[in-house]
């Protein structure tokens, strides 16, 4: 057998396995962020993200006051990697950005998520936000960079089969 045929067969098999895994490990649905005890004490409200999936391609949306956040990325087996783009000048201005800076940031990548699907009802992993430094006079962006990853967890809320205790180990119910 020719080496090229063996390589093509291996690549083809890997591609088929990858696409098939996206039908086994579904992430489509509505997910709610699990808040830390400190966030709950501070009165924070959980965020809800709605994801759609077509094979390995994943898109999503979260509505916020004055705009929305758009998610896009890939699912490979249980792993989900997403990029978040923030839309809406009003939403960005409410975060403290001057209007000209908010206009420039509208639709730009503001965060990345790297998550693992656990038990079909829990996404756990990291959230890496982008820090944007700017001046007020004149209003302009001086620097932007990604901060250190933060731990994030989400639970499926549209079709939860078993209650999830955020403090339990994966695989344990409430």
Residue 19, in any domain of the structure: yes
Among 59, 97, 75, 101, which Cα is nearest to 19's? Answer: 75
Residue 169, in any domain of the structure: no
Residue 133, in any domain of the structure: yes
Residue 41, in any domain of the structure: yes
Residue 25, in any domain of the structure: yes
pTM equals 0.78
Mean per-residue pLDDT pooled into runs of 10, the chain (174 residues) = 78 65 77 94 94 94 97 95 98 95 97 96 97 94 97 85 48 49
Residue 161, in any domain of the structure: no
pLDDT confidence of residue 6:
74
Are the CB atoms for 56 and 43 separated by under 8 Å?
no
pLDDT confidence of residue 12:
75
Residue 140, in any domain of the structure: yes
Query: Token pair of 156, please?
Result: 């499926």
pLDDT confidence of residue 163:
43
pLDDT confidence of residue 84:
98
pLDDT confidence of residue 174:
44
Residue 28, in any domain of the structure: yes
Range of the domain at 18: 3-156
Number of compact structural domains in the chain: 1
Among 132, 43, 148, 61, which Cα is nearest to 96's? Answer: 132
pLDDT confidence of residue 21:
59
CATH code of the domain in which 118 resides: 2.40.160
- Other beta carbons within 10 angstroms of residue 139's beta carbon come to 15
* Residue 22, CA distances (Å) to 53, 78, 104 in order: 9, 8, 35
């Amino acid at each position: 057998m020719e080496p090229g045929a063996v390589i093509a067969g291996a690549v083809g098999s890997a591609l088929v396995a990858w696409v098939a895994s996206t039908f086994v490990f579904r992430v489509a649905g509505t997910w709610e962020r699990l808040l830390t005890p400190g966030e709950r004490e501070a009165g924070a409200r959980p965020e809800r993200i709605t994801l759609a999936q077509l094979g390995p391609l994943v898109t999503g949306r979260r509505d916020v006051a004055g705009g929305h956040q758009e998610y896009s990325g890939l699912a490979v087996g249980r792993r989900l990697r997403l990029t978040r783009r923030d839309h809406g000048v009003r939403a960005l201005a409410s975060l403290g950005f001057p209007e000209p800076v908010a206009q420039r940031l509208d639709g730009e990548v503001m965060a990345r998520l790297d998550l693992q699907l656990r038990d079909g009802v829990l996404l756990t992993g990291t959230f890496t936000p982008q820090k944007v430094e700017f001046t007020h006079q004149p209003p302009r962006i001086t620097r932007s960079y990604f901060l250190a990853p933060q731990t994030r967890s989400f639970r499926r809320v549209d079709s939860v089969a078993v209650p999830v205790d955020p403090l339990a180990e994966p695989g344990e119910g409430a």
